[in-house]
Homo-oligomer: A and B are copies of this chain.
Amino acid sequence: MGIELSLNDGDLISGTLDVLVLKALSWGPKHGYGIGRWIGESTDATVAVEEGALYPALHRMERRGWLESKWGKTELGRRAKFYGLTPRGHKQLIAQTKRWHSYSQAVSLLLDRPSA
């Protein structure tokens, strides 16, 4: 009765969250909760971001100087922390996007080969 341990639908592929967050902010600041929603909606829930992954990621990226934050108010009048891209964050977005494309293309090509 082995437990089937593998990647569940919706689960993140580790390491892809950062670039998604950076992209989310490339149109201007967003608050954390909204970033999570945005990623889920923009991928039709193919990518689901747990809050336990999201908030540490935001703090991490701020610590690295990719993001900066300030408290503000949402459209609904609620208190929220807004994150924006720093210049270094923008550079990261470029670099990680490039990296993602070459990596994912390489993997996809490989997986698309007819096997047998």
Contact = CB atoms under 8 A, between A and B. Distances in A.
A89 to B, nearest CB: 12
A110 B20 contact: yes
Interface string A16-51: 101110010011000000000001001110110000
A74 interface: no
Nearest to A9: B99
Contacts of A107: 16, 19-20, 43, 47, 100, 104
Interface string A66-91: 00000000000000000000000000
A105 to B, nearest CB: 8
A54 to B, nearest CB: 16
B100 A27 contact: no
Nearest to A19: B111
A81 to B, nearest CB: 22
Determine which residue in A5, A92, A99, A107 has the highest number of CB atoms from chain B within 10 A of its CB, and name it: A107
